[in-house]
Structure 1
Amino acid sequence: MRYATRYDVGERKRPDGINEDSLAVSVFEDGHREGYLGPDRDPSSRANGDPNARGDADPGTTRSTAVVVLADGAGGHEAGDVASYIATTRVAEELAPLAVRAAGEDPGAFGLDLPDTVSVGGAPPAEEGDPTARAEGESGNGTGVGSDPASSSRPRQDRFHGAIEAAIQQAHQDVLAYASEAGTAAYTTVVAGLVVDGRFHYGWVGDSRAYVCNGAHDHIARLTEDHAVVEQLYADGELDGVEAHVHPRGNELTRAVGGRGDAADVTVETASVDLFAEDVLLLTSDGLPDAQSDAPALYDRYVGSGRGEDAAARVREQVVTDADIGEWVLGADSLSAAADRLITEGNDRGGKDNLSVLLAQDPTLPETPSRLPVRGRDPHPAHRRETVVEE
């Protein structure tokens, strides 16, 4: 698996601004014998004496699992940078062992025929009160925009959803404990997930986003919906898509990790999607889609003009749209170049907040089918200013 990360304080916050974003990545590569046969392997080929046989995906020599986490501390609160650091560290710490165990759940992928009495990888035996041990068919806390209720792997998927939710809840409690001890407010967004056997299982709180960009179909899908006032107004039909780019309330979250020391849980949304060899997974703080520092003026001009198409086109030219993000990612020669391009373009279009991006790709996965499945939701950019939390 390949990945790249970039951090930037944002052009408007130089030279004395604080970067309140945090990232965490943990990749585990599992290899044995002639290599991993992959999700499309043909088990009969090994039985017929071909030790190197693979399925149509030709998935290479290793199996990769990964944990990815991004958090954006809420600006305007005293300890957003601490909150984001606590959240990414705790979530990665909780999920990394699960990623390693998941990589060992299928020894047959390396041509190993182990008896049922031998346990390798997978979840430990469920204990009473274990939040990752869900009954078959039980869903996560939120339905998510990429979930697949008919999936034959639903019990396993639910286990991952439960683990992600539990990890974020633990991070929430850790941030609350810090806020109480420090006598301050501490809030952060979180988007986090597990990449296992060609699927991305993820959860989120707030308006940091996950996207998947597919090079075979030149397509970008947003996997998350912002927990934010503007997102809700848009969903309720009170705003059009252009207004949602630049609305004056674009900095207001409806949900975040942390708080002022109260012990309430936070609602975590979860979902899963298939990934393919041509996919690039992108996690980003809102500093990328919210790069435009002149958003309030653009909003006034757009509404004052009667919401005409010419005014709408001018807004789209000056803000960062989902289509822009997809073009910059898929047009780059490497993940590193894509990460650089995202930061550069975000700063060029205003750079009004911290910019952090995480990109990952596993070229050993099966190729994208000729008909791309629906993943996430239609592109809709709802842009933010310095984040505050509705209380």
Structure 2
Amino acid sequence: MKIAFRSDIGRIRLVNEDRGFAELTDTGIAVAIVADGMGGHQAGDVASQLAVDTFREAMQGTSPELSVDERKMLIRQAILQANEVVFDMASRNEHYHNMGTTVVAALLQPDNGVIGHIGDSRAYKWRDGTLTQLTVDHTLVNELVKSGQISVEEAARHPRRNVLTRALGTDVHVEVDVKGLSWQPGDLLLLCSDGLTNMVSEEEMTETILQEELDLDGKADKLVELALLAGGDDNITVVLLHHAEDTEQEE
């Protein structure tokens, strides 16, 4: 397994409220998470950091013997625990009132994996030349698209496209979307914040992944560079996990 992680403040924002983490554990499981924080008084970076730290701690010592259903339960519980931590902090400190974060996380073993997410940070899987979005955005515009009120093209330009219908830490109870995925040699998983997906098309992502002269590190750099060239309106965070024979972590 190869892993690359990049985060950039972008060209407009004064603070990077994105946080991420990815590693291959001693037990051979790949653990990764991307969180995109929100809230005034720099509370967004507090929310995303708390979420990542809580998730990371909950994943320590994860057994490779767990079934897919057990790992689904584990990732759901870890994200719900993060929700509790962020909500509690927001409730006790007026500066952090209403802070929250998106989250997209993955647990990968050699033959399968699980994804958990809340919000509009996304997971994509690359296999045999095809890039497939695995997550569904929890946003107002996505609800409007699903109900047929606006088109996908209109959603991309909608003035309220960043309004979330679900976030981590803003309510006592939150629903986590969890799904399993097949995972085989050659596959690549992309976790990212909307600072990438709002700026870079799936076609451009595909072209970047196809560039054989770039290693995984270079592909992560290129994705961030494309978002910056397109305006860099938001923080940009990218995690790439490649099901490769050799094991390498790139920072």
Normalising by structure 1, we get a TM-score of 0.60
Matches of 2:169 and 2:25, distance apart in 1: 29
Matches of 1:4 and 1:275, distance apart in 2: 17
Displacement over 4 Å in runs of 4+: 75-78
Question: Deviation of residue 197 (structure 1)?
Answer: 2.9
Matches of 2:235 and 2:42, distance apart in 1: 16
Cα 1:77/1:258, change in 2 over 3 Å: farther
Task: Look up the match of 1:4.
Answer: 4
Task: Look up the match of 2:206.
Answer: 326
Matches within 5 A, 1:36-75: 64-74=28-38
Task: Look up the match of 1:257.
Answer: 168
Question: Deviation of residue 3 (structure 1)?
Answer: 0.6
- Of structures 1 and 2, the one with the larger relative CO (CA 8 A, separation 6+) is 2
Checking the alignment, whether the CA contact within 8 Å between 2:102 and 2:167 is kept in structure 1 is: yes
Q: Which amino acid in structure 1 is aligned with residue 73 of structure 2? A: G
Checking the alignment, whether the CA contact within 8 Å between 1:329 and 1:342 is kept in structure 2 is: no
Q: What do the CA deviations read for 1:3-46 (whole angstroms, capped 9, x no partner)?
A: 11111000123xxx10000111231255xxxxxxxxxxxxxxxx
Pick from 230, 233, 240 the counterpart of residue 349 of structure 1. 230
Q: What do the CA deviations read for 1:160-192 (whole angstroms, capped 9, x no partner)?
A: 111111101100010011112212221100111
Q: What do the CA deviations read for 1:232-275 (whole angstroms, capped 9, x no partner)?
A: 1111122222112111110100000012xx5x211000001111
Checking the alignment, whether the CA contact within 8 Å between 2:5 and 2:21 is kept in structure 1 is: no
Task: Look up the match of 1:284.
Answer: 192
- 1:179 matched to 2:90? The reply is yes
Task: Look up the match of 1:198.
Answer: 111
Which sections of structure 2, spanning at least 5 residues, go unmatched? 247-251
Matches within 5 A, 1:160-309: 160-183=71-94, 184-214=97-127, 217-259=128-170, 264-291=172-199
Q: Which secondary structure state, in structure 1, belongs to the residue aligned with residue 138 of structure 2?
A: coil
Q: What do the CA deviations read for 1:72-106 (whole angstroms, capped 9, x no partner)?
A: 002557511000000011111112322xx11xx3x
Q: Which secondary structure state, in structure 2, belongs to the residue aligned with residue 12 of structure 1?
A: coil
- 1:340 matched to 2:221? The reply is yes
Q: Which amino acid in structure 1 is aligned with residue 243 of structure 2? A: D
Checking the alignment, whether the CA contact within 8 Å between 1:228 and 1:254 is kept in structure 2 is: yes
Identical aligned residues as a percent: 37
Pick from 29, 44, 51 the counterpart of residue 87 of structure 1. 51
Q: Which amino acid in structure 2 is aligned with residue 273 of structure 1? A: L
Structure number with larger C-alpha Rg: 1
Q: Which amino acid in structure 2 is aligned with residue 2 of structure 1? A: K
Q: What do the CA deviations read for 1:191-212 (whole angstroms, capped 9, x no partner)?
A: 1111013212011000000011
What's the RMSD between the two structures over aligned residues? Answer: 1.7
Matches of 1:243 and 1:222, distance apart in 2: 19
Task: Look up the match of 1:97.
Answer: 61
Matches within 5 A, 1:133-152: none
Q: What do the CA deviations read for 1:137-157 (whole angstroms, capped 9, x no partner)?
A: xxxxxxxxxxxxxxxxxxx22
The count of residues paired between Structure 1 and Structure 2 equals 243
Q: Which secondary structure state, in structure 1, belongs to the residue aligned with residue 126 of structure 2?
A: strand
Q: What do the CA deviations read for 1:80-138 (whole angstroms, capped 9, x no partner)?
A: 1000000011111112322xx11xx3xxxxxxxxxxxxxxxx5xxxxxxxxxxxxxxxx
Q: Which secondary structure state, in structure 2, belongs to the residue aligned with residue 329 of structure 1?
A: helix
Matches of 1:353 and 1:227, distance apart in 2: 18
Q: What do the CA deviations read for 1:317-375 (whole angstroms, capped 9, x no partner)?
A: xxx2222212212325211010110011001111000001000112239xxxxxxxxxx
Matches of 1:236 and 1:89, distance apart in 2: 36
Matches of 2:190 and 2:139, distance apart in 1: 20
Q: Which secondary structure state, in structure 1, belongs to the residue aligned with residue 23 of structure 2?
A: strand
Checking the alignment, whether the CA contact within 8 Å between 1:213 and 1:330 is kept in structure 2 is: no
Matches of 1:238 and 1:96, distance apart in 2: 44
Q: Which secondary structure state, in structure 1, belongs to the residue aligned with residue 60 of structure 2?
A: helix
Normalising by structure 2, we get a TM-score of 0.91
